[in-house]
Amino acid sequence: SAVISQKPSRDICQRGTSLTIQCQVDSQVTMMFWYRQQPGQSLTLIATANQGSEATYESGFVIDKFPISRPNLTFSTLTVSNMSPEDSSIYLCSVGDRGGYYGYTFGSGTRLTVV
């Protein structure tokens, strides 16, 4: 299965600032996914990042708040913009193994605390 390197692993940020999270995959993948997981909750899909096109956002998530870059088939970034305490969460990237048929692999997550 793919190996994902996600950075940073955690950060504490001031409200109103932005944080960019990076995910590097050891193989080329068509789609990368960004999730948010709030304490005690399951994962919520933020958006799907496709190389060469705009990311596809889920209901409740907008590009201005969560801009995504996907410059190539092994890398993506998610920015959490103009942060508020409500953005405190764990953010995870994910890729499908062989198109998702064999499951999905997750990055180790970024634990974000906004103060």
Our CB check for other proteins shows the closer of 8 and 16 to be 8
* Minimum separation from the CB atom of position 15 to other proteins (A): 23
CA 85 – CA 50 distance, rounded (Å): 29
Six-digit token pair at 92? 């995870």
Query: C-alpha angle 96/111/109, rounded to 5°?
Result: 20
* Minimum separation from the CB atom of position 16 to other proteins (A): 27
* Minimum separation from the CB atom of position 48 to other proteins (A): 7
**Distances in Å between the alpha carbon of 98 and those of 2, 31, 104?**
9, 11, 9
* Minimum separation from the CB atom of position 74 to other proteins (A): 19
Our CB check for other proteins shows the closer of 39 and 85 to be 39
Six-digit token pair at 96? 């499908």
Our CB check for other proteins shows the closer of 14 and 40 to be 40
Residues of this chain that interact with other proteins (CB under 8 A) are: 1, 33, 41-43, 45, 48, 58, 92, 94, 99-109, 111
Helices then strands, each counted (H, E), the chain: 0, 11
Our CB check for other proteins shows the closer of 67 and 109 to be 109
**CB of 76 closer than 8 Å to CB of 20:** no
